[in-house]
Amino acid sequence: MLYQLYETQRAMLSPFAEFASASSKLYSHPLSPFAHAVGSQRMAAGFDLLHRLTKEYEKPPFGITAANVGGVEVAVQEQVVQARPFCRLLRFKRYTDNAQALERMRSQPAVLVVAPLSGHHATLLRDTVRTLLQDHKVYITDWVDARMVPMTDGAFHLHDYVHYVQDFLRLIGPDVNVISVCQPTVPVLAAVSLMASNGEPTPKAMVMMGGPIDARKSPTAVNDLAINRSHEWFENNVIYRVPPNFPGAGRRVYPGFMQYTGFVAMNPDRHVNSHWDYFLDLVRGDEESADAHRTFYDEYNAVLDMPAEYYLETIKTVFQDFALVYGTWNVSGQLVRPQDIRSTALMTVEGELDDIAGIGQTQAAQGLCAGIPAERKRHYTVQGAGHYGIFSGRRWREMAYPEVRDFIASHQG
């Protein structure tokens, strides 16, 4: 019922959002007589802010059309390698007529970036992908909004996530490397562990960034919520059925709008101040700062629904039972044994100021993967970086990425 009420409210606000957008242009367009009135800039800024606070945010595009490879700008085309009901495997294929750059690209390692299925779309990793394209063939998991998946496609469980990752790794080939960011560090470690246990080829290198491998360490507000609430509480309070106006009508999900509310509630003052600063930037005519605000919130405000069974199983397995750490996680009848991984090199990356996956949570993978020789392991802490800083922004590009790039390159032999 709550989901239906939300959709009704959204439909009611839609005309108001369009009115606010039109009014903002009315007070800002140079050909409008209202634009020359006293206080017109404030009126335009106020209506613009109202528009952004009431509009619906769709999934933004990756928008990556070019990359720099060894000083040569090459074209980039986004391709769908495989489409599954709950995920698309994308490749960012690079093209060039420059023979030297072409030869360089052919020799570069392939990387599968496993994006989080935890509220935001895979486009949140746009900066990650754009940077990786300088030195890698890049694939990424593009998770589908559960409200867009018909009930006839069945359920999606945590073990399905693990099997999707395994299938994508097999499809790309034995020379693949895998990078997991945040939530997928756990299912990716499970996927590679099971492949190792079964004697299958495993990735050349595995990079885990800011994920809850051992959520007992340095618990954050995210961990505390999962620990202090029962499985039944989550099922009764955050799970709803998709309304009739979507292809996935009737599917049980953790709605994106509820997840977004949780994101904002973690740092409400920061978001209020950010919107106020945006208003002031518009009044001052600081378009560069205003554009930066729009770019961030166009991404941040675009959320997706998660399948209920996947979400509830993740809460229980990762944050309540700590099944990976205790060695009790069973996936499709097989025990997950990270100690069976031997040939894959392991790098863990954490942010010094991460308030989502605390210090030590990701590094715990080093101890679990006891079968990997010490010389094939590496841990790196990004100084001054929060959660997003380890995979996006200046600290990612200037501090974390060179370490990740060099680690992958050194384990391709």
pLDDT tens digits for range 72-120: 999 999 999 999 999 999 999 999 999 999 999 999 999 999 999 988 8
Residue type, 139: Y
Rounded-to-integer distance, Cα 350 and Cα 359, Å = 7
pLDDT tens digits for range 353-408: 998 899 999 999 999 999 999 999 999 999 999 998 999 999 999 999 999 999 99
Rounded-to-integer distance, Cα 361 and Cα 73, Å = 38
Tell whether the torsion through CA atoms of 105, 209, 275 and 286 is positive or negative: negative
Per-residue confidence (pLDDT) for residue 55, from 0 to 100: 86
Report yes or no: 44 and 90 within 8 Å, Cβ to Cβ: no
Q: What is the dihedral of CA 365, 126, 264, 239, to 10 degrees?
A: -70
Rounded-to-integer distance, Cα 217 and Cα 226, Å = 14
Mean pLDDT of 258-264: 79
DSSP string, 1-64: -HHHHHHHHHHHHHHHHHHHHHHHHHTT-TTSGGGGSTTHHHHHHHHHHHHHHHS--PPPP---
Rounded-to-integer distance, Cα 238 and Cα 41, Å = 41
Residue 241, pLDDT > 80, answer: yes
Per-residue confidence (pLDDT) for residue 150, from 0 to 100: 97
pLDDT tens digits for range 177-227: 999 999 999 999 999 999 999 999 999 999 999 999 999 998 888 788 888
In DSSP terms, 111 is beta-bridged to 138, 177
Per-residue confidence (pLDDT) for residue 131, from 0 to 100: 98
Count of CB atoms situated within 10 Å of the CB of 412: 14
Per-residue confidence (pLDDT) for residue 261, from 0 to 100: 80
Residues 6+ apart with CB under 8 A from 3: 240, 241, 242, 243, 255
**pLDDT more than 70, % of the chain:** 100
Per-residue confidence (pLDDT) for residue 58, from 0 to 100: 87
Spell out the alpha helix ranges (H) of 144-213: 158-172, 185-197
Residue type, 393: G
**pLDDT more than 90, % of the chain:** 69
Mean pLDDT of 165-178: 97
- The domains of the chain, with CATH numbers, are 2-56+268-300 (no CATH), 66-232+306-409 (3.40.50.1820)
Mean pLDDT of 262-279: 84
Report yes or no: 184 and 114 within 8 Å, Cβ to Cβ: yes
Weakest mean pLDDT among 38-52, 205-219, 315-329 = 38-52
